[in-house]
Homo-oligomer: A and B are copies of this chain.
Amino acid sequence: MKRVSIKDVALKAGVSTALVSYVLNDRHTNRISKLTAEKIKNAAKELNYRPNSIARSLKAKKTNTIALLVADIANPFASQIARIIEDEISIKGYVILIGSSDENAEKLHQLIDIFLNRQVDGFIILPVEGSEKYILDLAKTKAPVVIIDRYFNNMDLPVITTNNYGAAYQATEHLIKRGKKNIGLLTFKTELIHLNERVNGYKRAVLDKGLINKSENIKYINETNIDVEVPNAIDELLSNEDKIDALFFATNKLALAGLRKLMVLNIKIPEELALITFDESEAFDIFKVPVTHIKQPLYEISKEAVEIITGMIEDKNLKFKPRVYNSKLIIKQSS
C-alpha cells in the first residue's frame, strides 16, 4: 500500500510536480492553462491523493500545530478550555497537541522538549508549581508562548488569567453581607500565585469589612492528600468553640472533597454554614442546596489565548499586554 505522492499525480497528469503543487494549492493559477489544471485535479482525485503535511511542514518550517500543555486534562476546568481552544484554533487552520503534565513540573519539562522537537509553532501553557524555569527556558528559544490561568511574577510573557484577587474579595464580601462573621477558607499549600491571590483577596475583604483574620480559619491542604486532609480540616473548622459560619473553597477540587464531607454532617446550609467556591462543576447544582460559585471566564480566556498565540506566530514582534478577565459570582442558595 504505497502512499500516493505528488510525483504520482504529476506522472499521471503528464506534467511536472511544480504544476501539481501550484494547482492543488491554488497558487499562480492565473498563469496555468485551464486544461492542465483540470487534468491535474482529475489525476489527484482518481489517485485519491492527499498532501503530506509533514513534508510541507519541513519545507515551510511551519507545522500549524500548537501545543496545549495543561496541568491535568481530566480536570473539567482544563478539558473545557481544551475544547474551546480546539474549536477556535481549528478555524484558523491549526491543530492542537495536548499534553497533560499531571501537576508535575518534570513532566511539563519533558513535554516541552518533545513538542519543541516536533516543531510546534507555539505553546499555550497552563503551568504547574515549580515549572517557572522550564517556561523561561522555553521562551528563550523564541518559541511563541502564552500562559493561561496560573502564572508567575515578572515573566515577560503574555499571561491571560482571571481576576483571582478580585473574585475572592467579592465572594468574601458577599458572605459578609449575608451576615457571616467567621469565614473559613480551604486552599492548597502551594506557591502558585493565582491561588495565593485568592487568599489575599479573602483576607483583604475580611479586613475591609471590619472582621478579623484568624489564621486558624485558613487551612492549607496538600494537593496529594485531599481526601484525608479536607475532611479533617472541616472537622477542625467546625469544632472550635468559635466555629465558622461560612466556608470558602479556593478550587473545584477542594469543593468536591468538602461537599462530600458535608453530605454526612447534619448542618443547615446556609443558615449554619454558608458555602461558596471557586470554579464550576456539574456537581454544584445537585448538592443539598445549589452552591454559590465563581464562574471563571473560560471562553474569553481560551479565545484570547488563541488570538494571541496565532498573532505571535504570524508576527514575532507582536506587542502583548497581560489580560485579566473578570469572573462572575453565581449566587445560589448555599449563601
Q: Which chain A residues have a beta carbon within 8 Å of chain B's beta carbons? A: 1, 3, 50-55, 57-58, 61, 63, 72-76, 78-80, 82-83, 86-87, 95-100, 102, 113-119, 141-142, 256, 259-260, 263, 281-283, 285-288, 290
CA distance A260 to B50 in the complex (A): 48
Which of A72, A83, A119 has the most chain B CB within a 10 Å cutoff?
A83
A82 and B73 contact, CB distance less than 8 A: yes
B95 and A53 contact, CB distance less than 8 A: no
A83 and B74 contact, CB distance less than 8 A: yes
B73 and A76 contact, CB distance less than 8 A: no
A54 and B86 contact, CB distance less than 8 A: no
Using known A-B contacts A98-B98, A282-B283, A286-B287, determine if residue A73 contacts B63 with beta carbons closer than 8 Å. no
Q: How far is the CB of A94 from chain B (nearest CB, A)?
A: 10
How many subunits of this chain does the assembly comprise? 2
B72 and A83 contact, CB distance less than 8 A: yes
CA distance A259 to B98 in the complex (A): 32
Using known A-B contacts A73-B83, A82-B98, A97-B95, determine if residue A53 contacts B286 with beta carbons closer than 8 Å. no
Give the chain B neighbours of A118 by CB distance below 8 A.
53-54, 95
Which 7 pairs show the lowest CB-CB distances between chains A and B? A283-B283, A79-B79, A74-B83, A259-B286, A53-B118, A53-B117, A1-B142
Other A-B pairs, 17, CB within 8 Å; known A54-B58, A55-B58, A97-B98: A1-B142, A52-B58, A53-B117, A53-B118, A54-B54, A54-B57, A74-B82, A75-B79, A79-B79, A86-B98, A86-B100, A95-B115, A98-B98, A260-B285, A282-B283, A286-B287, A288-B288
Give the chain B neighbours of A141 by CB distance below 8 A.
1
Q: List 22 A-B contacts (CB under 8 A).
A: A1-B142, A52-B58, A52-B117, A53-B117, A53-B119, A54-B54, A54-B58, A73-B73, A74-B79, A75-B79, A78-B79, A82-B100, A83-B102, A86-B98, A87-B102, A95-B114, A97-B98, A98-B98, A256-B282, A260-B285, A281-B283, A283-B286
Give the chain B neighbours of A287 by CB distance below 8 A.
286-287
CA distance A45 to B1 in the complex (A): 40
Give the chain B neighbours of A116 by CB distance below 8 A.
50
CA distance A283 to B280 in the complex (A): 12
CA distance A189 to B27 in the complex (A): 47
B117 and A256 contact, CB distance less than 8 A: no
